Amino acid sequence: MTLDTEQQKRLAAVTAARLVQDGDIVGLGSGTTAAFLLEALAVRCREGLRFTAVPTSDDTARCAARFGLTLAALDDYPELDIDIDGADEVDPALSLIKGLGGALLREKLVARAARRFVVVVDERKPVQRLGERARVPVEVIPFGWTHTRAALQRLGSEAELRGAEQPFRTDGGNYILDCRFADLSDPAPIAAAVKAVTGVVEHGLFLGMASEVLIGRADGTVERLRADRT
């Protein structure tokens, strides 16, 4: 039997859910991967697991509440034990592009606060170089967003407003510009330049943050990649 991409994500999410220990403070990511993770964690809770969840989006918070999970805000905890989230692309250094779901700002805040950041993906997401398929989401304030877009274009990107006719709004009320850069083989300088643009709130380049990546494979296995920070 060959697993499709949704089944691959579910498999990896179930594997990630097993990493949560009793009493942990757990960051919960957003999107379809988070839905699978919440299902798996709810099963473990029925078996006796107790933990506190810090959601990265309003949608995740609502879904977690429906499962009866204990929720808290990021400000309630100086450090999280583990954060589990998805990604749009993963390169060999475990650097990521995230933000297709529009929750990149909160996702990055929660990931930064966690001692362990675990990423769950299907086998389409690993790439040799960031930007092969995914654009880099950049969250910007709505005021003067066309000027912010022009500044990003001067950095060499093609920047498109998400939902042009009816702009997409993040949970924080901001816009998303989806940016394609010609060369992301060295993403760190680009990440720094984007963050320095006035009007930019945050970008979807998650560099040097992931502790490990769990890849659900079509053959029913889960590949585990760990970061080498030495």
Question: May I ask the CATH class of domain 5-127+207-218?
Answer: alpha beta
- CA dist 142 and 170 (Å) reads 11
- CA dist 25 and 168 (Å) reads 30
- The pLDDT assigned to 8 comes to 97
As annotated, the active-site residues are: 107
- The pLDDT assigned to 229 comes to 58
Residue 59: count other Cβ atoms within 10 Å of its Cβ.
17
Q: Report the run of H or E that residue 98 belongs to, with start and end.
A: none
H runs (alpha helix) in 18-52: 32-46
Asked if domains 5-127+207-218 and 136-201 share a fold, the reply is no
- The pLDDT assigned to 105 comes to 98
Domain boundaries, the chain: 5-127+207-218, 136-201
Q: How do the pLDDT tens digits run along the chain, 230 residues long? A: 799 999 999 999 999 999 999 999 999 999 888 999 999 999 999 999 999 999 999 999 999 999 999 999 999 999 999 999 999 999 999 999 999 999 999 999 999 999 999 999 999 999 999 999 999 999 999 999 999 999 999 999 999 999 978 999 999 999 999 999 999 999 999 999 999 999 999 999 999 999 999 999 999 999 999 987 55
- CA dist 185 and 188 (Å) reads 9
According to CATH, the superfamily of the domain at 136-201 is: ACT domain (3.30.70.260)
- The pLDDT assigned to 230 comes to 52
- CA dist 76 and 52 (Å) reads 11
- Residue 119 buriedness (CB in 10 A; 0-12 / 13-18 / 19+): buried
